[in-house]
Structure 1
Amino acid sequence: MYEPQKQQGMHFTLIIALFAVSLLPACSASDELPRLKTEVLASHKLDNMLNETSGLVCTAQTAVTTNDSGNDAVLFEVNDSGDIVRQHALDFANKDFEAVTADDDYFYIGDVGNNKGHRPYVSIRKVDRKTFQKVKTLRLTYTDNSPKTNIPYAHDYDAESLVNRTDHLILFSKSWASQQARVYRIEKDAKDQTLTAIGTVKGLPGVVTGADWDAANHRYVLVGYKSSAIGLFKPFIATVSPDWHVQGMAMLEGFGQVEGICVRNASEVLITQESSPLNTARIARLAIE
């Protein structure tokens, strides 16, 4: 729930994060990427209960999102206008929810936030779509991760982007330090997994905060941002090939801390942004080519 005192503390932490990111080198390769054509078809303020929305997955009639750390463990169904149409309480705690995806039978909730780098492992909860009960916890450990020596907001063992790919999941890292998103394959039923990157995405103009698979166009669609020490976000959207090459990229002018994306159909996506000092939480429908 929204708590002003909690928000002040989060904003202080955010300023630290923004300062750290502002020290990172710019990705000049992004200037050479093919231009992705986008158009904002609609944009609406999200309900205040979703000021800290993080993660998004499209369903048949709605989209599903959740809030990140410090909030109740709840899945929210929202319509394209940003209204909450249903809430589903979950039977486990929210340490740092940052992503949600789904297949026909299950939601996969990524409790994978690790900005400070101190978590020795993160997890994904497999949740029945009919009962909203947890059926399995996938415990994930990164190869070569060193929680005791990681520098907050300056390491590569953080993530916010989880994608369903038929018989497995794909996790994109936030990669504060290298600015090259690492790609991990996650098995849907293995309880304990040690993750080694199967690829990297190079040349993006910031960290990746949301992703989905565009089956019609056989590509991933990613969102993220580069941020500054004074609280300014420069969000982007990009398309990435199955072998992790950036195909096209566009800056999302008029948006802020973009946190989630889901593919609605062959030519449209939904995106969400979290509330920040300069922006309200919003959901938007975009056309992309």
Structure 2
Amino acid sequence: MIRIIVSYYFLFLPVLLSAQQGIRTIGELPGAVSETSGLIFYNDRLITHNDSGNEAKLFEIDTTSLQVFREVVVSNAQNVDWEDMAQDEHYIYIGDFGNNLGMRRDLKVYRISKEEYTTSDRVSAEVISFEYEDQEDFSNNGNSDWDAEALFVLGNELVVLTKQWLTYGTTAYSIPKTPGVHIAQILDEYPINGLVTGATLNPNNDVLYLTGYSFTLSPFLVRVSGISPRTIFTEDMVRINLDLGLTQIEGITHMDNESYFLSSEMFSRTNPSITTKPILFSFNNKSIQAGEEIPMDDPIDSEDSPEELLEELLLFKRFGSDLLEYRLATAESVYGYAIFDTSGRRIQHKIRPGVPESTIDVSTLKSAIYYLTFYFGNKSSTKPFVCP
């Protein structure tokens, strides 16, 4: 079941609807694509690539057996940080624009001829280089708002969506589809209250889907209808929170008018112990049925939601606050808590018998992903969160 949690963060969301989840798990992806990122569906095959530091290679996946059917090397490219894919009638586009720290001056999209791709297992790519029109600071100040993981084709343009670690928003930039050096122009922006990880625009119905995750790493979709070359974030938007645990959805693509694929990458940490496998999912646009509309001028506050405490540990953080707020739905005694970074290193801890307070000061934490673990008598409960 999908959980729609509305807070003051969404005061600017035109429409937010409750929905029934229609996500189907197809199965585990092979190890060769354990770090799957972008997705497209072409010639009845699912095509994907791995992200930063991996080979400059595309993989075709059989959607029934989930085995690698074919590998295609992009001979003149380097995978600095490949994040997403898109396509039009003649070309495949690969976005090499992962940029967590905002320092890169070599952002690019690789363009590959479909004719060459279809006939050879070794292809060459043309380069579409770009810089953002409004970026002036390229220094390393930690996680930035200049990261990007989403790409789609809109007419004669490519649209790049930023993944903003500091403000939890996204900005849509346009660049020409032609090789050369370009300035990415701002099209639109939106306070999406999350980190955008993928996008696909279905030319059959002009529906745009975004994938992403919240500051507690809860995955979501955003469905947008009625976009235009100058308006990406319309009044017809629906956010759909996905009940997939800690699964980090990285890729999305359409197969036909109504059918879509989602992919998640492998994630493993030993302390706290968390492992998720690379999984392929599917859903049908019609299976996600809109339910009761929640008026945005009367948002449901997290303190008043009657269903939130169904979870053992609930985290939330108010915009601009240095306090991480939490709720524990358990009668067991709490012996303490610890905060870990993604390498498993303990950053902060406190031994506190009994029921703890409801806030933790995170003002000293740098911008990154962390894990909060509460320890009970014979078990523990862990949830991730993001510090901007």
TM class by smaller structure: 0.7 to 0.9
**Which one of the candidate residues 2, 7, 27 is aligned to 2:9?**
27
SS of 1:184's equivalent in the other structure is strand
Question: Which has the higher Rg, Structure 1 or Structure 2?
Answer: 2
Q: Provide the alpha-carbon RMSD of the alignment.
A: 2.2
Tell which deviates more after alignment, 242-251 or 93-102.
242-251
Contact 2:111 2:127 in 1 (8 A): yes
**Is the 8 Å Cα contact of residues 259 and 285 (structure 2) preserved in structure 1?**
yes
Structural mapping, 1:66-85, within 5 Å:
66-81=49-64, 82-85=66-69
Inter-partner Cα distance in structure 1 for 2:184 and 2:19: 31
SS in 1 for 2:32: helix
**SS at the partner of 2:129?**
strand
CA offsets 1:140-195 (integer angstroms, 9 cap, x no match) = 11123245435322x22111111122322111111222222100111111411111
Distance apart, 1:248 and its partner CA: 0.9
Superposed displacement of residue 217, structure 1: 3.0
1:117 alignment partner in structure 2: 102
Q: Which has the higher contact order (CA 8 A, sep 6+)?
A: 1
Q: How does 1:76-155 map to 2 (within 5 A)?
A: 76-81=59-64, 82-91=66-75, 92-132=77-117, 133-153=123-143, 155=144
Give how far 1:32 is off.
6.4
Paired position in structure 1 for 2:267? 276
Q: Where does the alignment leave 5 or more consecutive residues of structure 1 unmatched?
A: 1-24
2:228 is the alignment partner of 1:240: no
- Tell me the amino acid that sits aligned with residue 176 of structure 1: W
Asked whether the 8 Å contact 2:171–2:188 carries over to 1, the reply is: yes
8 Å CA contact 2:48, 2:58 repeated in 1: yes
The residue type paired with residue 185 of structure 1 is S
Inter-partner Cα distance in structure 2 for 1:134 and 1:165: 24
Residue 215 of structure 1 pairs with residue 203 of structure 2: yes
Counterpart-to-counterpart distance in 1, 2:204 and 2:51: 30
Q: Indicate the residue corresponding to 1:174 in structure 2.
A: 163
* SS in structure 2 at match of 1:98: strand
2:285 aligned partner: 288
Report percent identity of matched pairs: 25
Deviation digits for residues 234-286 of structure 1 (CA, Å, limit 9, x no counterpart): 00011123131351111121251110000122222100001112310111111
CA contact (8 A) 2:87 2:153 kept: yes
Moved more, 69-78 or 25-34: 25-34
Structure 2 counterpart of 1:213, which letter?
A: L
CA contact (8 A) 2:39 2:85 kept: yes
Give the aligned partner of residue 154 of structure 2. 165
Q: How many residues align?
A: 259
- The structure that is helix-richer by fraction is 1
Assess, with a 3 A threshold, how the Cα gap between structure 1 residues 26 and 77 changes in structure 2: closer, same or farther: farther
Unaligned runs of 5+ in 2: 1-6, 118-122, 269-274, 287-388
Would you say the 8 A contact 1:38–1:287 is kept in 2? no
Give SS of 2:186's match. Answer: coil
